[in-house]
Structure 1
Amino acid sequence: MVEQHFLEHARVLSDRLVQLQSPIRILDAVNWDRSVRERFFQRKAEFNPEVTRDFYRQKQLGFDPADLRHQLAVLQRDIVSQLGRLSPVSQLMSRACREYRDVVRMIEARGTQEFHELSVELFGHPDDVFHANEPSLAQLATMLQSPLDTLLASDVLPEEKKDIDAATAVEKLQAQLNNSMQGVNVNVMLSDGIVSDAAAGSDRIKLNQDVKFSQRELDILEVHEGWIHIGTTQNGLQQPYLTCLSKGTPSATITQEGLAVLTEVITLRSTPRRLAKLVSRINAVAMAADGAEFVEVFRKLVADGMSQDEAYTLTQRVFRGSLPDGKPFTKDLAYIRGFVLVYNLIRVAVQLGKIDRLPLLLTGKLAIDDFRLICELADSGVIQQPTFVPPHFKDLRGLATWLSVGRFLGDFSFAQLENDYRPLIP
Structure 2
Amino acid sequence: MDDYQRTIRTLSDRIVLAQTPIRVLDAVKWDDSIRQGFFKAKGKEMPAVNRDYYLGRPLSFDSGAVKLEFQNIERDITRQLGQFNPVGQIMRRMCKEYRMVVRMLEARGTEDFGLISQELYGAASDAFHAGDPTLADLGLMMSDYLDNIDGRGDLKDEAKTLTAKDAVSLLQSRLNKVFGEAEETIRVFESDGIVADAAAGADYIKIRADAMFNERDVRALEVHEGLVHVGTTLNGQNQPICTFLAKGPPSSTVTQEGLAILMEIITFASYPSRLRKLTNRTRAIHMVEEGADFMQVYEFFREQGFEMSQSYGNASRVFRGSVPNGLPFTKDLSYLKGFIMVYNYIQLAVRKGKLEQVPLLFCGKTTLEDMRTLRQLVDEGLVVAPKYLPDQFRDMNALAAWMCFSNFLNHLSLDRIEADYSNIL
Point out where structure 2 has 5 or more consecutive residues left out of the alignment: none
Q: 1:92 aligns with which of 90, 93, 97?
A: 90
Q: What residue is the counterpart of 1:408 in the other structure?
A: 408
SS of the aligned residue for 1:188 comes to strand
Q: 1:23, CA displacement in angstroms? A: 0.4
Pair 1:304-2:309 in alignment? no
SS of the aligned residue for 1:424 comes to coil
Q: 1:192, CA displacement in angstroms? A: 1.7
Q: Distance in 2 between matches of 1:34 and 1:195?
A: 11
Q: Distance in 2 between matches of 1:341 and 1:42?
A: 43
CA contact (8 A) 2:15 2:95 kept: yes
CA contact (8 A) 2:258 2:335 kept: yes
SS of the aligned residue for 2:189 comes to strand
Q: What residue is the counterpart of 2:80 in the other structure?
A: 82
Q: 2:102 aligns with which of 101, 104, 116?
A: 104
CA contact (8 A) 1:224 1:261 kept: yes
Deviates more, 1:51-60 or 1:386-395: 51-60
Q: Distance in 2 between matches of 1:45 and 1:204?
A: 35
SS of the aligned residue for 2:154 comes to coil
Pair 1:314-2:314 in alignment? yes
Pair 1:420-2:420 in alignment? yes
Deviates more, 1:16-25 or 1:51-60: 51-60
Q: What residue is the counterpart of 1:127 in the other structure?
A: 125
Write the mapping of 1:134-145 to structure 2, written as runs, cut at 5 A: 134-145=132-143
Write the mapping of 1:3-402 to structure 2, written as runs, cut at 5 A: 4-184=2-182, 185-402=185-402
List 4+ stretches of structure 1 deviating above 6 A.
none
* Post-superposition CA distance 1:83-130 (Å, at most 9, x none): 111111100100000000000000000000000110011000111112
* Post-superposition CA distance 1:389-423 (Å, at most 9, x none): 01110111111111112222332222232233343
Identity of aligned residues (%): 45
Q: 1:306, CA displacement in angstroms? A: 2.3
Q: Distance in 2 between matches of 1:168 and 1:152?
A: 28
Alpha carbons of 1:319 and 1:18: their partners in 2 closer, same or farther (altered >3 Å)? same
Q: Distance in 1 between matches of 2:266 and 2:311?
A: 28
SS of the aligned residue for 1:331 comes to helix
* TM-score with structure 1 setting the length: 0.97
Q: 1:172, CA displacement in angstroms? A: 0.5
* Post-superposition CA distance 1:244-291 (Å, at most 9, x none): 100000000000000000000000000111111111001100111111
Q: Distance in 2 between matches of 1:259 and 1:82?
A: 34
Q: 1:236, CA displacement in angstroms? A: 0.4
Q: 1:298, CA displacement in angstroms? A: 0.6
Q: 1:60, CA displacement in angstroms? A: 4.1
Q: Distance in 1 between matches of 2:358 and 2:258?
A: 14
Q: Distance in 1 between matches of 2:404 and 2:272?
A: 23
In structure 2, give the amino acid aligned to 1:160.
E
Q: 1:15, CA displacement in angstroms? A: 0.6
- How many correspondences in the alignment? 423
Q: 1:384, CA displacement in angstroms? A: 0.5
Point out where structure 1 has 5 or more consecutive residues left out of the alignment: none
Q: Distance in 2 between matches of 1:394 and 1:115?
A: 40
CA contact (8 A) 1:200 1:229 kept: yes
In structure 1, give the amino acid aligned to 2:11.
L
In structure 1, give the amino acid aligned to 2:230.
I
* Post-superposition CA distance 1:213-269 (Å, at most 9, x none): 111110000010001111001000000101110000000000000000000000000
SS of the aligned residue for 2:206 comes to strand
CA contact (8 A) 1:181 1:227 kept: no
In structure 1, give the amino acid aligned to 2:325.
D
In structure 2, give the amino acid aligned to 1:121.
E
Q: Distance in 2 between matches of 1:229 and 1:282?
A: 21
In structure 2, give the amino acid aligned to 1:408.
F
SS of the aligned residue for 1:423 comes to coil
